[in-house]
Structure 1
């Protein structure tokens, strides 16, 4: 049995926290300073965490290795199992050119560039974030906006800023699923609190997008459809995350936002020619003028309808219980850990939700998608394998970061840092979103930031008397605002619109908005930790 210690270094909490933080510091420096590739930085950080656990905390090598293995397995299933299958669905729509049909369908909704920014970057971007995440929305939406005639720089900025509100529930809820796992908090509790924070961003972001597209005039002339879109998105995200399923939060929000936007007469009104001339300096793709048969348009929308339908059916109590019946629970080998109070930690047991996990449901939706789109079984399997190959470095990054997080959590390193950070007291509520923001800004992933800092936030919350669910959620909600300034996303945006090497220019344009929205989120969390906004929490 391994007993966690809080002050293993010279009996000092401060020194112990300094040593415990070394793996995190190494990862952040390698990513942000040295600009090392994420998977290499993750592996280096994992090695550092294992050495600290063994040498400073006295964790036996077999238990250290077992902790890392459990984290890597969790990274593969259910986390990457969701991501791979979701991206597979998208690849099949590209393969059959139904994605092009979908893009043309969006282009015909309105010829007003301000409305197009809302439809493509905010609503469709949220749908892509829900299904794939990991940079796909920025790349795809940037290209679509350029095809609609947007200047490349403006297209990239709009896509980056739009990719905020849906990130916490992206990739079928992967960030909040990870957060729940590493903190030991119930998924429904974590998702519920996040669903009472990020929807507030959704009220602001559409208004910000029309400002970015056309300044004061854009805000003055299109604030009504922008606000309606944001309200519908926020309400749907709140309702789904609190009462339906975290995995469906972004899908429902994206569809609700798009539906509400299209329903506003002002959004369907043709744009005045001077508006287009003043706002757009790029060349509109002639491909957008092609006509598509109604049946093909329906098929283009069908993958997303199938995912919504399958996940909705899976939430029916009888079906949910039946699916959960296949879940397997194992005693994890070579791992016997108790906390300083002598209580067994959750890592000793591993739960494998074989069928009920989101990835398996997306796989089922993918099989149905292949049938609807007419993708041959051999081609579908080939696309799945190609998806795994495309994500090979992301797979290595996620598994190494999760392994790092598990070693830090089970050895007691995260608990030490959490107890030390708890000294911030009431100020911890303000700093909590900043920590998540910093983690995502460096790593480019809300999932990674939650894995790295989730347990730390919960420990600090318990020591300072704050709500663990609130600070865990704040880590994720603050993190979404760091995504637009992460080197990974900036590079993706520049590559997508042909601005390679201009990442610094984009950073200067989006950084003020990232910091401003972060301050708003910090104030929201502070309010929720006090009687002022505590009524917002479940």
Structure 2
């Protein structure tokens, strides 16, 4: 039996935390500074994590390798499976020729590419995050922006930045529900606190999007649209999280934000649209003007994404269907690992059970949507299957990155390295309220999932809050909210979006484009949480 120690290096928490952080530093140094390909960065980080687990933490080598194997399996299913099927769905629309109509349909709403970026990346991406999550939103919206003519790098940075405010309530608030289960705090209460943090991000994110897309000119010419969308999204997120339904928060927010923008555009249009189209999309948006499309062509252009929304809504919101699919999940105690690991508290570790979600996975649901698109678009089954095969082959290096990063995360978690880092940060006393979002940011940066970050740190946040005399719900919510900024720098998400926009292997370049936004928004949230623990405590629900 292996039980991780919090401070295995000379009984020093500080030294142990420095050593435990080495795998993360290796990954980000290789990616962000040395510009090494993402799969080599991931494999190098994994090698560092294995060495530290065995030599630093005393974890048996066979258990460390088995832990990496379990993480790799999770990287394949559901993560890689979701990405492959999301990209395949997009490729089907391209092969059918309908994507040109989709591009024209967005031009029908507004010919301005900056407005289209807000609609696609923020509103539609938020809706996809609400229903699917796990990388599908950035994959699909990234491909859509490239298809309407955006340069790949700008498209990647835009969708990663947009995929922030919705993440805390993603997949029908799975991160928040997970935190509630682990801490015993009602998830409705945690969600209400998150609903008083992330809306402040939602207000400014659309403005930052147009800044990324078109610089200061974009902000000057389109700020009314960005601000109206952000404020509508934020108000809906606050109201729904506090007074209606935590799981439905992102669905309501994304739809309200989109409707508010559509209403505004009936009375106002931004200046400089022609210049923006010429500069940003090289004239691509001028092709096939949207107003020439009939209702039938518009419906068929939107059909794949309407189908995604319909299928995920039925599965997530109609309990009998969701429960029936969940019943097909197979729980696999990981051979050689299950029963051989203890948690830091001495209890048998529950993380050694691998859930094989072969039918309920979002990837399988996207496959079902792809089959529906194949039928409606009258694509030959052999053509569709060949496209699926080509997509899988094109994902080989990106898939290796995803698998290695998840293997790295599992080794760090099960050996105790992540707990050491978290405990060290929690030991700074009352100032911990300021730094508590950093734990969530770190967890998501490693795992690519806000749910996983809460699984890692929610209980730790609760204990730390009780020790320093802060409302535990505040710091558990801060872990969730802080995680949303970590998503844009996660190697897993970087690889997903790089593949989607056609920049596989250029993850380092994308990382440099989003890092400042990630850190800047994180610091703003840290300041908010600290103030909510003191002078702004009146903001918290009672």
Q: Which bracket does the TM-score occupy, shorter chain normalised?
A: 0.7 to 0.9
The Cα offsets for residues 134-164 of structure 1, whole Å up to 9 and x where unpaired, read as: 5664464256255xxxxx7xx9668735642
d(CA) in 2 for partners of 1:534, 1:294:
50
Change (3 A) 1:160 1:100: same
Matched residues in 2 for 1:224 and 1:134: separation?
A: 25
Partner of 2:524: 520
Contact 2:210 2:222 in 1 (8 A): yes
Task: Give yes or no for the alignment of 1:369 onto 2:339.
Answer: no
Tell me whether 1:413 sits opposite 2:417 in the alignment: yes
Match of 1:403 among 395, 401, 407: 407
Q: Distance in 2 between matches of 1:69 and 1:477?
A: 27
Spell out, residue by residue over 1:191-246, the C-alpha distance to the aligned partner (whole angstroms, 9 max, x if none).
Answer: 94766544432222234455677888976775554333224434566688897797
Q: Counterpart in 1 of 2:161? A: 164
2:91 and 2:387 in contact (8 A); partners too: yes
CA contact (8 A) 1:86 1:171 kept: no
C-alpha spacing 1:432/1:158, structure 2 compared with 1 (3 Å): farther
Q: Deviations over 1:308-351 (max 9, x none)?
A: 21122212122222222222223222121112432111123233
Per-residue deviation, 1:30: 1.9
TM-score normalised to structure 2 length = 0.78
Structure-2 separation of matches of 1:142 and 1:398:
22
Q: Deviations over 1:254-313 (max 9, x none)?
A: 45433331123x4454556x6745896465344233733431210111111112211222
Paired residue for 1:326? 328
Residues 183 and 428 (structure 1), Cα distance of their counterparts in 2 relative to 1, 3 Å cut:
farther
What is the CA deviation profile of residues 461-493 of structure 1, one whole-angstrom value per residue up to 9, with x for unaligned ones?
A: 534535563243134223256589x98799899
Find the counterpart in structure 2 of residue 27 from structure 1.
27
Change in Cα spacing, 1:222 to 1:304, as seen in structure 2 (3 Å) is: same
For 1:347 and 1:368, the matched residues in 2 are separated by 36
Judged with a 3 Å threshold, the aligned counterparts in structure 2 of structure 1 residues 240 and 392 are, in CA distance, closer, same or farther, namely farther
Is contact 1:114-1:222 (8 Å) kept?
yes
Structure 2 residue aligned with 1:144:
148
Residue in structure 1 matched with residue 67 of structure 2 by the alignment:
67
Within 2, Cα distance between the matches of 1:328 and 1:418? 31
Structure 2 unaligned segments of length 5 or more: list them.
467-471
Corresponding residue pairs, total: 519
Cα separation, partners in 2 of 1:519 and 1:161, compared to 1, 3 Å: farther
| Greater mean alpha carbon deviation, residues 203-212 or residues 80-89 | 203-212
- Checking the alignment, whether the CA contact within 8 Å between 1:477 and 1:521 is kept in structure 2 is no
Does the 8 Å contact 2:176/2:187 carry over to 1?
Answer: no
1:91: Cα distance to partner?
1.6
> Bigger shift: 126-135 or 56-65?
126-135
Task: Give TM-score scaled by structure 1 length.
Answer: 0.79
Equivalent residue of 1:368, what SS? helix
Cα contact 2:169–2:175 (8 A) shared by 1: no
Partner of 1:12: 12
Residue of structure 1 in register with 2:361 after alignment: 357
Unaligned runs of 5+ in 1: 147-151
- 1:106-505, aligned counterparts within 5 Å? 106-112=106-112, 115-124=115-124, 126=126, 132-133=136-137, 137-138=141-142, 140-141=144-145, 144=148, 160-161=157-158, 163-167=160-164, 173=170, 185=182, 189=187, 192=191, 197-209=197-209, 223-234=223-234, 253-264=253-264, 266-267=265-266, 269=268, 276-277=274-275, 281=279, 283-285=282-284, 286-289=286-289, 291-314=292-315, 315-335=317-337, 336-434=340-438, 447=448, 455=456, 459=460, 462-463=463-464, 465=466, 466-467=472-473, 469-480=476-487
User: Which residue number in structure 1 is paired with residue 42 of structure 2?
Assistant: 42
Question: Given that residues 179 and 447 in structure 1 are in contact (C-alpha distance below 8 angstroms), is that contact kept between their aligned partners in structure 2?
Answer: no
Cα distance in 1 between the residues matched to 2:42 and 2:216:
44
Contact 2:112 2:274 in 1 (8 A): yes
How far the C-alpha of 1:383 sits from its partner, in A, is 1.8
Contact 1:8 1:56 in 2 (8 A): yes
1:405–1:452 contact (8 Å) kept in structure 2: no
Name the SS of the counterpart of 1:350 in structure 2.
Answer: strand
2: CA distance, partners of 1:533 / 1:481 = 29
